[in-house]
Homo-oligomer: A and B are copies of this chain.
């Protein structure tokens, strides 16, 4: 305790006060497991085996960044419909596992062991499960990513025959769609921290700085507020709109007076994401940008107003779209106007025509209208909210109608 406080960037007050949540309660996990087993019964599967970061964390409570950066060893969580859950993990991980997961029943193997990274162990466990349906669930379905080599999954499928390998992603999707109050609290913390970080940017960046500078300034601001990391940040700048480039490299393009800076971000904390952008004009906004941002503000308002139990994801799209089409905009092939979020940056459902997922309390959603500005340029506003019994609660502080200015 000998060094000056001012040299310790990681020890500001907000971090201590807000940034570290206690592990989810035992009751929270009991509820998840109980719900999972109910859905497993309805879907006629005798158990499930997950290896992905999101599903392993979601069901077991295990927390570690190691497995998701080091693919040499897979980690498994095994949940039969009847009987005890088991962590099937590399031997050297046992100490870390029991520190964070509620599940204290472990089956381990000495890893790396390239010829058999846990597959014989898993097959034995699956074959030993009390069976009613003859089907065992693994992660096969939409928007899933397994945390093991596919070859091992195919070997496991052969080893458990005649037990059938079924999909369990539908089960987990149903569970994860509705967030508990403790999950919402994490996402809300992230939204507030990222709002604060955005609010601080006009004091940190301006004309002459690069898009990369803007990205790094945001990273430091949001992490200084106690957030673990900012895995996704996309800054883009341009005159009267920015290139539609959400997935692309960060650039060293400099911000120029009169441009708009769009910054999308997904900051992450203790296994949860927020996902929203903010916009800044470098000096005064052009008339074109001011009109477009006002229209997008009204579109966002309409989407937010439509967010209540009983409405569908499609309804959120149409509410936002109507404001734009009423103003004479031809939408074209615009994609979606928002989506679910939580343990992933993007989750089902999609606010787009055809997605009739019904909103229920506990669903966390983005409201995200966009406007094509000519050429490939685009403008976007995005907010995060949670559906409540009587409508919704904002998780972000709304971006003002007239967006913030950076020094020109």
Contact = CB atoms under 8 A, between A and B. Distances in A.
B95 A248 contact: yes
Number of copies: 2
Contacts of A142: 114, 117, 149, 151
Interface in A334-363: 335-336, 339, 344-348, 350, 352
Contact of A246 (B1, B96, B149, B348): B96
A252 B153 CA distance: 37
A147 B71 CA distance: 13
Nearest to A90: B247
Interface stretch (A32-40, A175-183, A212-220, A396-404): A212-220
Nearest to A226: B216
A223 B10 CA distance: 12
Interface string A105-124: 00000101010010000000
Interface stretch (A77-85, A188-196, A229-237): A229-237
A18 to B, nearest CB: 14
A71 B91 CA distance: 30
A100 interface: yes
B247 A3 contact: no
A244 B223 CA distance: 28
Given A203-B3, A247-B93, A234 B169 contact: no
Interface stretch (A58-66, A284-292, A293-301, A381-389): A58-66
Contacts of A246: 66, 92-93, 96
A272 to B, nearest CB: 12
A208 interface: yes
A160 to B, nearest CB: 15
A258 to B, nearest CB: 15
A247 B206 contact: no
A71 B344 contact: yes
Contacts of A138: 150
Q: Which of A91, A151, A350 has the most CB of B within 10 A?
A: A151
The 10 closest A-B pairs by CB, nearest first: A96-B248, A10-B216, A2-B407, A66-B247, A140-B151, A70-B346, A63-B249, A96-B247, A100-B249, A64-B247
